[in-house]
Structure 1
Amino acid sequence: MKRFLNLLGIAILSGSLTLGAYKLFLEPEPVKIAEEKPIPQYVSTTPATYTVSNSSKSTANLSADFTTAAEKTVNAVVHVKQYGIQRTPRNLMDFLRNDGVQQKRIRGAGSGVIFTEDGYIVTNNHVIDGATELEVTLNNNKSYKAEVIGTSRQADIAVLKIEADAKLSYIPFGDSNSAKIGEWVLAIGNPFNLTSTVTAGIISAKSRDLDEFDANTQSFIQTDAAINPGNSGGALINTKGELIGINTAITSQTGSYVGYAFAVPSNNVRKIVNDIIEYGDVQKAIIGISGHAVNPRAKENYDITESQGVVIAQVESGSGAEEAGLKEGDLIKGIDGLPIKKFADLSGYVNSKSPNDIINITISRHGNESIIPVKLKKYESYQIKDIGVEVVNPSKDELKRQNLDHGVKINRALTKRMTRYNLEGIIITEIDRVKVKSVADVKKIIESKHPDEDISVTLIDGNGEKREFVFQ
Structure 2
Amino acid sequence: MNKIGVTFLTACLGGAVAIGSYKLIESKLQDGSSFEDKQKVYFTNNPSPTINSSSGELDFTQAAASVTPAVVHIKTTYNNDSGEGNSGRDKQMQDLFEDFFGGRRRSQGPAQGSGSGVIISDDGYIVTNNHVVDNADKIDVILPDKRSLVAKVIGRDANTDLALLKIEGSGFPIVKLGNSDNVRVGEWVLAVGYPFALNTTVTAGIVSAKGRQIGILDQGNNQSTDGEPQARTAIESFIQTDAAINRGNSGGALVNTKGELIGVNAAIASQSGSYEGYGFAIPINLAKKVLNDFKEFGSVRRGYIGVNFTGLDAEQSKRLGVSEINGLYINEVIPGSGAAQSGLKEGDIITKVDGNQIFSPSDLQERIGRLGPGDKVQLSYLRAGKLLVTNVTLKGEESVRTANNSTNSAVTKNLGASFAPASDVLKKKYKISSGVVVSNVKPGGFFDQLDVVQGTIITSINGRPITNADDIETAISSGRNNMATVNAISPDGMQIRYQFQVR
Deviation at 1:300, TM superposition (A): 7.2
Deviation at 1:85, TM superposition (A): 4.1
2:207 counterpart letter in structure 1? I
Closer/same/farther in 2, CA of residues 323 and 134 from structure 1, 3 Å limit: same
User: 5+ unaligned residues in a row in structure 1: which ranges?
Assistant: 1-44, 52-63, 88-101, 382-390, 403-408, 413-418, 424-461, 466-472
1:371 to 382, 389, 411: 389
Contact kept in structure 2, 1:50 and 1:65, CA below 8 Å: no
Quick one: distance in 2 between partners of 1:363 and 1:202?
Answer: 34
- Residue 72 (structure 2) aligns with: 78
1:265-287 Cα shifts (integer Å, max 9, x gaps): 11221111111221121112111
Contact kept in structure 1, 2:52 and 2:257, CA below 8 Å: no
Aligned 1:90-239 pairs, distance under 5 A: 107-164=112-169, 166-214=170-218, 217-239=235-257
Give the greater-gyration-radius structure (CA): 1
Deviation at 1:363, TM superposition (A): 1.7
Quick one: distance in 2 between partners of 1:288 and 1:394?
Answer: 9
- Name the SS of the counterpart of 1:249 in structure 2: strand
Quick one: distance in 1 between partners of 2:352 and 2:338?
Answer: 17
Closer/same/farther in 2, CA of residues 73 and 346 from structure 1, 3 Å limit: same
> Which structure's residues are more often strand, by fraction?
1
Aligned 1:45-444 pairs, distance under 5 A: 48-51=54-57, 64-85=58-79, 107-164=112-169, 166-214=170-218, 217-294=235-312, 304-380=322-398, 392-394=401-403, 398=407
Quick one: distance in 2 between partners of 1:304 and 1:353?
Answer: 30
Quick one: distance in 2 between partners of 1:250 and 1:315?
Answer: 34
1:426-465 Cα shifts (integer Å, max 9, x gaps): xxxxxxxxxxxxxxxxxxxxxxxxxxxxxxxxxxxx9699
Contact kept in structure 1, 2:187 and 2:207, CA below 8 Å: yes
Deviation at 1:329, TM superposition (A): 2.0
> Which structure's residues are more often helix, by fraction?
2
Contact kept in structure 2, 1:233 and 1:247, CA below 8 Å: yes
Contact kept in structure 2, 1:305 and 1:367, CA below 8 Å: no
- Name the SS of the counterpart of 1:305 in structure 2: coil
Contact kept in structure 2, 1:150 and 1:280, CA below 8 Å: yes
- Residue 9 (structure 2) aligns with: none
Aligned positions, number:
335
2:402 counterpart letter in structure 1? N
Quick one: distance in 2 between partners of 1:395 and 1:318?
Answer: 13
Contact kept in structure 2, 1:78 and 1:113, CA below 8 Å: yes
User: TM-score normalised to the size of structure 1?
Assistant: 0.64
Contact kept in structure 2, 1:238 and 1:244, CA below 8 Å: yes
User: 5+ unaligned residues in a row in structure 2: which ranges?
Assistant: 1-50, 82-106, 220-233, 417-441, 447-475, 482-503
Quick one: distance in 2 between partners of 1:106 and 1:193?
Answer: 15
**Which is bigger in relative contact order (C-alpha 8 A, separation at least 6)?**
2
1:90-144 Cα shifts (integer Å, max 9, x gaps): xxxxxxxxxxxx9965601110011111001111122112322111011111111
Quick one: distance in 2 between partners of 1:298 and 1:209?
Answer: 17
Contact kept in structure 1, 2:78 and 2:112, CA below 8 Å: yes
Q: Percent identity?
A: 43
Quick one: distance in 1 between partners of 2:317 and 2:272?
Answer: 41
Contact kept in structure 2, 1:80 and 1:137, CA below 8 Å: yes
Quick one: distance in 1 between partners of 2:161 and 2:305?
Answer: 22
- Name the SS of the counterpart of 1:271 in structure 2: helix
Contact kept in structure 1, 2:116 and 2:193, CA below 8 Å: yes
Closer/same/farther in 2, CA of residues 137 and 104 from structure 1, 3 Å limit: farther
Deviation at 1:343, TM superposition (A): 1.1
1:281-304 Cα shifts (integer Å, max 9, x gaps): 111211111111225697579884
Contact kept in structure 1, 2:335 and 2:403, CA below 8 Å: no
Closer/same/farther in 2, CA of residues 398 and 193 from structure 1, 3 Å limit: closer
Contact kept in structure 2, 1:359 and 1:376, CA below 8 Å: yes
1:163-209 Cα shifts (integer Å, max 9, x gaps): 12x31111232222221211211110000112211111111111111
Quick one: distance in 2 between partners of 1:66 and 1:191?
Answer: 19
Contact kept in structure 2, 1:248 and 1:262, CA below 8 Å: yes
Quick one: distance in 2 between partners of 1:269 and 1:70?
Answer: 22
- Residue 18 (structure 1) aligns with: none
Quick one: distance in 2 between partners of 1:205 and 1:328?
Answer: 31
- Name the SS of the counterpart of 2:239 in structure 1: strand
